Chains A and B, each alone.
Chain A
Amino acid sequence: MKKVIMGNHSVSYGVRLARAEVIAAYPITPQTQIVEELSEMCSDGRLKAKFVKVESEHSAMACCIGAASAGARAFTATSSQGLALMHELLHWASAARLPIVMTNVNRALGPGWNIWTEQTDSLAQRDTGWIQLYCEDNQEVLDSTLMAFRVAEAVRLPVMIVYDAFFLSHTYEPVDIPAQEEADALLPPYKPARGTFMDVEDPRTFSNMTPPDYFMEMRFKIERAMRRAKGEFERAAAEWRRLTGRSYAAVETYRCDDAETVLVAVSTAASTARVMVDSLREKGRKVGLLKMRMFRPFPCREVVDVLRKARKVAVLDRNISFGSGGIFAAEIKAALSNVPGHPPVYGYIAGLGGRDITPATIEEIFDRTEDEDAPEDPVTWIGLKL
């Protein structure tokens, strides 16, 4: 059934179709409509979940940790300051191997107060052991929410679904709401293995003091599970394609085959970039787009396979790691570093704090990448008004 809904409500529908059992959440702009709609769904019986209206995002994640530890399918949503407040618990959730799913609507961190989009909030959590998937449109948001639960439960790691504030969260688009049977076919009821959850008939202790003799192996297993997550995502995507005809991959290429300059972009900026690639192609310029959906685990092989063939790589980062540069650019440079004769990587910062990334922004990035012999050190800012 097609409905015209906002990005945030796409999440709510996804969580309902996933039959989440426990939801714990705290309001924060621009995420709030997700949990408002879920409150309605729980209130009128469309979703049979226990909704715990916690007093902070920190408690939202703690509550999800408690719920998932008893083998319940748990969900929360947040943004920016709320995600930063959760930081300690993000590490806890992954190291406790809990398949929690969370939506993070990308919003800049203050000060000054800013409710508009920027990816620094989620990217700053890259080392917490969460799988991260970035979405470009409302259909993808809904579908990714369902797939997230499946991947999380398969590898026993938490998943973060990420998308842009306002450009997606508050934008209405037609979305195909899958039938419950389709969702159930992708995502059967969560049945955790014996010994992995709290059970009075099989009493065990979880997350107690772990001496050096055991700790490192536990971390190794998290890393191994994270590596396995890409394959699980591909399996979930293949199943979803069979059920709905819609297909998703860890990375997506657009007109990259003979491209000399490939731009890497994420989230809604990828839509704008796709339009600009078409426009420049019409003028005979050999440009292409690599859209990254998956950030953790980092799809190194897929990224390298595409980018090694390019003459130049441009990376658009709507985020900044101060003193280093764009975070996607840094990861891509690392991925390419062991490839002999790899193309130079031009890093660009644009669109921070919700500033528009327009076709002109993308065009300037392509122009500068093609015109300049070597990348500016350390990073090029686009659209600065100093």
Chain B
Amino acid sequence: MSRNTVVPMGSGHRVEDELFLPGHLGCQGCGGALAMRMVLQAMGPKTMLVIPACCWSIIQGPFPYTGLKVPILNVPFETAGAAAAGLRAALDAKGRTDIQVLAWAGDGGTYDIGLQSLSGAVERNDNILYVCYDNEAYMNTGVQRSGATPEGSWTTTTPVRTPKDRPKKNMIEILAAHRIPYAATATIAFPDDLAAKVHRAKEIRGARFLLILAPCPTGWRTDSKHMIAASRMAVDCNIFPLYEVFEGDRYHITVEPKGTPVREYFKMQGRFRHLGDKEIEQVQRRVDFEWRRLLHKAMQEPFSM
């Protein structure tokens, strides 16, 4: 566990190799746009994207334009896992095993409406990389709560009088329970760690899952210039630890957090502004618990509560 993971991400990367074309339609400071750029750099041009309904349905640009230099298949909201599995099967049938299939879905399409089709693909161990860029709510429809929305958060469907009262669903645990060959978390403030995980995933056959925390200035009610800082702070305060899980049971924490209080992270974002000391303390207790449980799983310390 170290602060900086050394990986061959930037080596030899040239602007003309960039697979993300200029002129995307994301909001200023969009974490999801940056995440795509980083992932595609690591994936390379022999990649086919499957994108269900999500912010990226917009970001990629409308017909007859395209935002990327790899083929993109847009599919209905809840079908990323199954459509990617079908694309994979077709490529395998045609002997194109050199091409990677990359499903790219938001948290709504992953945690909620697309969970069944993702579960099916992972249970079958279909040879796909599934990336969820997680901005923690239905941002494309204007900030409604999803299963990925953190406890205490405001959204337009969880107004400040009755904010989200349940913790964020633990997607990595759900996938680990499938005994998925590789599942990992990443975020845009740690690009080397993110690229290393994409490279690792590329080397593994079968289902692979990457959960990328992608801050959203619009929905998090934060200035776009603070997005990288928010991404870093989410890791440092243990709200979003960076780790990977092999075969659903070998845990490896890849970035050592600073242990910053949750309060500092919350202070940066309008979506938590309504929370009082009591509520923040409650979230802090849960975060501490989950972090210790993760340390235990990674065999860093005995489990006790």
Contacts and interface: CB of A to CB of B under 8 A. Distances in A.
A204 B74 CA distance: 11
A210 B120 CA distance: 30
Contact of A200 (B71, B79, B93, B124): B71
A74 B73 contact: no
Interface in B63-88: 63-76, 78-79, 81-88
B91 interface: yes
B62 A65 contact: no
Interface residues of B, number: 48
B75 to A, nearest CB: 6
Contact of B73 (A53, A55, A207, A209): A207
A70 B89 CA distance: 9
Interface string B109-144: 000000011011001101000000000000000000
B71 A49 contact: no
Contacts of A55: 116-117, 119-120, 123
Nearest to A215: B63
A72 B81 CA distance: 18
Contact of A65 (B61, B75, B116): B75
Interface residues of A, number: 43
A142 interface: no
B270 interface: no
B93 A50 contact: yes
A54 B117 CA distance: 8
B116 A203 contact: no
Interface in A200-220: 200, 202-211, 214
Given A49-B93, A56-B120, A200-B47, A66 B62 contact: no
Contact of A21 (B61, B93, B99, B119): B93
Contact of B62 (A21, A202, A211): A211
Interface of A: 21-22, 24, 48-50, 52-56, 58-60, 62-72, 74, 88-89, 92, 198-200, 202-211, 214
Given A205-B67, A206-B74, 10 more contacts: A50-B92, A52-B85, A52-B126, A58-B78, A67-B87, A70-B90, A205-B74, A207-B73, A208-B57, A211-B63
Interface of B: 45-48, 50, 57-58, 60-76, 78-79, 81-94, 99, 116-117, 119-120, 123-124, 126
28 contacts: A22-B90, A48-B93, A50-B89, A56-B116, A56-B117, A59-B81, A59-B85, A62-B76, A62-B79, A62-B86, A63-B83, A65-B75, A65-B79, A65-B86, A66-B73, A66-B85, A69-B90, A71-B90, A198-B48, A198-B71, A203-B69, A203-B71, A203-B72, A205-B71, A206-B73, A207-B73, A209-B63, A211-B62
